[in-house]
């Protein structure tokens, strides 16, 4: 049985990935900060699911959690670096520096930390797949999103760099770039302002977390000689990070 480790698995894309991979017969290592949500996920998936509560920004906690993985889950075949967030939509000159730090620490440093801990074991075993969740926002900046867009541009550069570093190995590296996905993403971005968050998805049939989970699983299940380097997934009436047609 193959094993997948998914960060940020308590909601949205991460949770949908956990469910999809489990249905496909994978053993699932699900991580996140919300212990109640992890317990609910474990209860739903049952066997072959192991949960770990930690913040990817906490290097010590991450290292301890990875070292404590039970033997039956230790050989990780797929790493899905999904944990990430956007905070605020103010002009850069009015931005909240705490929000900036949290985005940089989670979206960039958290992803790097997980990769550093998991990939060496993949190399020892001669197999593995790293799938990073980026964003269409990493392709070009949009108003109010300078720092978030910068973090997702960094995810693309980090993913491309890792693929180069591993080109002489059997390991594969994939970047998944979602567009507008209706999850709790905007509610977090606007610090719990649900009216403002719901307006983001008004007038367009946005993607769902399950849509993205389908593409992640597809990439993971491609034949060993096939490396899906990058996938951009948009809603039908979305052209890029800033052009959306609403009705």
- The H or E element spanning position 43 is helix 35-45
Return the ∠ at Cα 82 (arms to 27 and 36), rounded to 5°.
70
With contact defined as beta carbons under 8 Å apart, do 9 and 38 qualify?
A: yes
C-alpha count within 13 angstroms, C-beta hemisphere, residue 77? 15
- How far is Cα 127 from Cα 104, in angstroms, rounded to an integer? 29
Report the run of H or E that residue 5 belongs to, with start and end: strand 3-6
* Sequence-distant (≥ 6) Cβ neighbours of residue 171 within 8 angstroms: 119, 122, 123, 127, 128, 129, 130
Q: Which of 142, 148, 201, 218 is catalytic?
A: 148
Q: Catalytic site residue 148?
A: yes
The rounded distance, in Å, linking the Cα atoms of 196 and 223 is 43
For the annotated catalytic residues, the residue numbers are 148
């Amino acid at each position: 049985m193959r094993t997948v480790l998914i960060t940020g698995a308590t909601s949205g894309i991460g949770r949908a990935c956990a469910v999809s991979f489990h249905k496909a017969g994978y053993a699932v290592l699900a991580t996140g900060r919300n212990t109640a949500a992890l317990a609910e996920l474990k209860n739903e998936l049952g066997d072959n699911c192991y949960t770990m509560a930690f913040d990817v920004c906490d290097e010590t906690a991450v290292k301890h959690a990875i070292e404590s993985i039970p033997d039956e889950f230790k050989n990780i075949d797929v790493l899905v670096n999904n944990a990430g967030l956007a905070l605020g939509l103010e002009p850069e000159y009015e931005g909240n520096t705490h929000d900036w730090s949290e985005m940089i620490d989670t979206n960039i440093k958290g992803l790097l930390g997980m990769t550093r801990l998991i990939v060496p074991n993949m190399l020892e075993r001669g197999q593995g797949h790293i799938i990073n969740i980026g964003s269409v926002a990493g392709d070009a900046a949009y108003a109010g999103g300078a720092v978030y867009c910068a973090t997702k541009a960094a995810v693309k550069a980090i993913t491309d760099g890792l693929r180069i570093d591993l080109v002489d190995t059997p390991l594969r590296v994939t970047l998944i770039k979602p567009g507008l996905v209706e999850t709790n993403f905007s509610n977090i971005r606007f610090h719990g302002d649900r009216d403002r968050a719901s307006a983001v998805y008004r007038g367009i049939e946005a993607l769902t977390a399950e849509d993205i989970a389908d593409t992640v699983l597809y990439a993971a299940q491609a034949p060993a000689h096939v490396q899906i380097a990058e996938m951009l997934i948009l809603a039908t009436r979305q052209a890029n990070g800033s052009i959306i047609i609403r009705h």
